[in-house]
Amino acid sequence: MSARKVSIAAADGHRLTAWRADPAGAPKAGVVVLHAVYGLTPHIGDVCSAWAQAGYTAIAPALFDRISPDIIFAYDNPGAGSRAYASLSKVQIFADIAACAAATDVPGRVVISGFCTGGTWAWQAAAAIPFAAQVNFYGSAVPALNDLDPLCPTIFHYGDTDHVVSLAEVHAIAARHPVAQTHIYPGAGHAFLNPDQGNFDPIAAELAWERSLAFLDAHLSGR
């Protein structure tokens, strides 16, 4: 169930690297995991492995492969990653998402998920592509895109001390999207799920993960 690197072809001919992890038995669903501004880090591979452990086929595309292969930025250099993301078009990112969704080989049961800027793109994809559900971890620009409406059940996770998304902005997300589950974690900052970053909060991370699995169990059971 450990994640491994694979190569996936997008519809426009671009080939990208991705982390992939598969469960021991038949998957409950597929999950496309979008990385934060740092690229396809080992942490994202660990996330895919955790999804597989929970019974899902998880694939995380290296979106920066559109720029150059194997781009990973240090955790103390988020600006470089933000600029890399900004150089990519929606058409390119959506093509890579679609390729990974198809590669899960679980038609009609694919979840979109993402972290930070990856969460922003998961939010945009969920408003344009018919995914089965969305699991969004501290999507950084969701407040600026709050007028979008997801086409699928959605769960958000934010810390109340997130330095990227203010608590007032999280409340605005919850108010605009009352059907979505919006969870706020006391004392947790941005990137609280990542043990490789300084804001890692194991209690919040475990609770967010448990809530995400319960959410998917509830919303995928009838599909």
Residue pair 208/185 in contact (Cβ under 8 Å)? The answer is yes
Q: Tell me the CA distances in angstroms from 114 to 12, 106, 118, 158, 205, one per residue in order.
A: 23, 19, 4, 13, 14
Q: How far apart are CA 136 and CA 118, in angstroms?
A: 9
pLDDT of residue 221: 78
Position 29, amino acid: A
pLDDT at 24 over 60: yes
**pLDDT at residue 222, as a whole number:** 62
Residue 15 confidence (pLDDT) above 70: yes
- Condensed to tens digits (0 to 9), the pLDDT of residues 113-132 reads 999 999 999 999 999 999 99
Structural domains in the chain plus CATH codes: 4-220 (3.40.50.1820)
Query: Tokens at residue 20, please?
Result: 């992939």
pLDDT in tens, 174-187: 999 999 999 999 99
The CA-based dihedral angle spanning residues 161, 82, 4, 24, taken in that order and rounded to the nearest 10 degrees: 40
- C-beta atoms surrounding 217 within 10 Å: 12
Q: What is the mean pLDDT of residues 125-143?
A: 98
Listed range (21-25, 65-69, 136-140, 217-221) with the worst mean pLDDT: 217-221
Q: Which of 170, 173, 150 is nearest to 159 (CA)?
A: 170
First to last CA, the chain: 24
Model confidence over 184-196: pLDDT tens digits? 999 999 999 999 9
Which pLDDT score is estimated for 26?
Answer: 95
Residue-wise pLDDT tens digits, 82-91: 999 999 999 9
